[in-house]
Structure 1
Amino acid sequence: MDITFLKTFLEVAKTRHFGRSADALFITQSAVSARIKLLEQTLGVELFVRKRNDIQLTPSGANLLRHAEGIVKGWERARQAIAVDPALAASLSVGCLFDLWSILVRKWSARVSALAPDIALQADILNAEVMVQRLSLGVLDLGFMFDPPQTPDLELRQVTAVPLILVSSRQGQDLDGATTEGYVMVDWGSAFGVVHAEKFPNLPAPHLRTNSGQVALDYIHGNGGAAYLPLAVVAPLLDNGLLHRVDDAPVIERHAYAVFRADAIERYSLKKALAALE
């Protein structure tokens, strides 16, 4: 099977539109239709229900979607491994949450490069669900996340504590004011949500909900307000007076984990990656 057929399928599944898929892939709309038709003929099933201005996945299409991304990523990784510089001994594919890049992974990647300059790194920003899926498929070597799932094939290693503190754009604001006037609720994971609900049982609806600390920080810069953000991220902003700590607010601590396949622990690149965490 031509891997471009699966890439085309993924694009159509994302856009639900043959014309927009053609634009994204820099091919004609007829070429998109032809590729999908050939893929359906190869698999012996229909992948899409085609209606005017309404393209939906069939049950078979939905099943293929769960596997197609892993196949495409696996193929791309194989190509990268074949094309790797002869001076490099191995490659390592890493995923992390957006907020963990600045908190943890950026400095860790520098340590890996210093400790093992013969390893080629591939780093991607991914959500936890995608990381777990790719780890299970073997197309991702290492993932950094909060609240990792407990599964038999994946091993977890606690890497660092991440203290989250309540900060505000307004100097001298107390806890009640910070959580009622422009409060931004950041989803730092299910464990954070439980503790947050215990600490603030009667919290009014927040002005904004987001799963990104950076989004919350940008919003506060532009509009004012308050949010729980990592101390490591906001420390410079506290020092120069751009943000202010809400002194009577409790600190909520989260833990970041490195997640990897248990059967890959003896791989040279993974050993070096884990050593760089110590």
Structure 2
Amino acid sequence: MDTELLKTFLEVSRTRHFGRAAEALYLTQSAVSFRIRQLENQLGVNLFTRHRNNIRLTAAGERLLPYAENLMNTWMAAKKEVSNTSRHNEFTIGASASLWECVLSPWLPRLYKEQPGMQFEARIAQRQSLVKQLHERQLDLLLTTESPKMDEMSSQVVGQFNLSLFCTAPSRPKSALTYLRLEWGPDFQQHEAGLLISDDIPLLTTSSAEIVTRMLPELNGCAWLPVSWATQREGLNLVSDSVEVTRPLYAIWLQNCDKLNQLREILKTPVIL
């Protein structure tokens, strides 16, 4: 199927006029008529009824219209995706919402400053989804607190940060607060289970630090937050009997990644200062 035929069909169906369709497509009117005849011959049906100044879709044309729109939308999306893969100045970095909000956001301005000409996509998703995207080459670099589990992936520790329990009321112990779970990965849940009372059932579970921080005063809660991030925000106080847990930050990529040169340059910019 020639997509130009469908494009012409859609323009004629929109304008209901061969001349105006020709102007919109920068074609001659005879070229538009020829394309419509080609499409009709391929389908074996008439798509328009032609009367002077009165062009209407036939029943077959009405049936074709939604399919033609979907096909053209799919084709345009495919062209965009294929062209993007050939543009080596585009780089997609994935991480969880909590990592972007608390740890990685200051890194992006430094990347733009030190990598002029690059275009970045900061993708937010759960680690499992991002690992799949990395494996399917939809993602160039994954930043996570857990080491890779697949042999075809390479990794590098690019920093570490400390987590501690924070709340909005000063000098409160854990026992006086409800627990709100900010997800830091399955590995952290093992630490979490040992540090909390057995009946501390989270009133809220989220992957967003902004959401959990907003709900701390509402629920008289506490949550594990990066110390360097939380101490810079007004209204957050360290839970009086909290401890600090150190979490590593890994950069993970496919060993046969086709953007290894760009990746190495990007990782020269410190992720955590």
TM-score for the superposition, normalised by structure 2: 0.65
Q: Verify: 1:170 aligned to 2:169, yes or no.
A: yes
Q: Secondary structure at the residue paired with 2:119?
A: strand
1:270 aligns with 2:263: yes
Q: What is the CA–CA distance in structure 2 between the aligned matches of 1:116 and 1:127, rounded to whole Å?
A: 27
- Structure 2 match to 1:227: 223
- Contact between 1:167 and 1:227, CA under 8 Å: does it hold in 2? yes
Q: Secondary structure at the match of 2:256?
A: helix
In structure 2, relative to structure 1, the CA distance for the partners of 1:221 and 1:77 (3 Å cut) is farther
Which residues of structure 1 form unaligned runs of 5+?
Answer: 3-29, 39-71
Alignment match of 1:257 (pick from 229, 250, 261): 250
Taking the TM superposition and a 5 Å limit, the aligned residue runs for 1:88-107 are 90-107=89-106
Letter in 1 for 2:252: V
Per-residue deviation at 1:111?
A: 2.3
Equivalent in the alignment of 2:159: 160
Secondary structure (helix, strand or coil) at the match of 1:264 reads coil
Tell me how many residue pairs correspond in the alignment: 209
Q: Distance in 2 between matches of 1:94 and 1:77?
A: 17
Contact 1:97 1:145 in 2 (8 A): yes
Which amino acid counterpart does residue 110 of structure 1 have in structure 2? P
Question: 2:135 matched to which residue of 1?
Answer: 136
Residue 31 of structure 1: how far off its partner (Å): 7.9
User: 1:124 maps to which residue?
Assistant: 123
**Secondary structure of 1:124's partner?**
strand
RMSD of aligned residue pairs (Cα, Å): 3.3
Look up the SS of the partner of 1:123 in the other structure: strand
Q: Deviations over 1:26-74 (max 9, x none)?
A: xxxx889858x99xxxxxxxxxxxxxxxxxxxxxxxxxxxxxxxxx998
Query: C-alpha offsets along residues 246-277 of structure 1, whole Å, 9 cap, x if unaligned?
Result: 13211122222111111228732112111113
- Give how far 1:90 is off: 2.3
Match of 2:83 among 79, 82, 88: 79
Q: Secondary structure at the match of 1:133?
A: helix
Unpaired stretches in structure 2, ≥5 consecutive residues: 3-62
- Quote the Cα distance in structure 1 between the aligned partners of 2:151 and 2:185: 21
Which structure's CA Rg is the greater one? Answer: 2
Partners of 2:181 and 2:202 within 8 A in 1:
yes
Contact 1:265 1:271 in 2 (8 A): no
Q: Is the 8 A contact 2:174 2:222 kept in 1?
A: no
Match of 1:247 in 2: 240
1:142, 1:220 → 2: CA distance? 32
Q: Is the 8 A contact 2:96 2:207 kept in 1?
A: no
Q: Which residue of 2 aligns with 1:16?
A: none
CA distance in 1, matches of 2:79, 2:162: 39
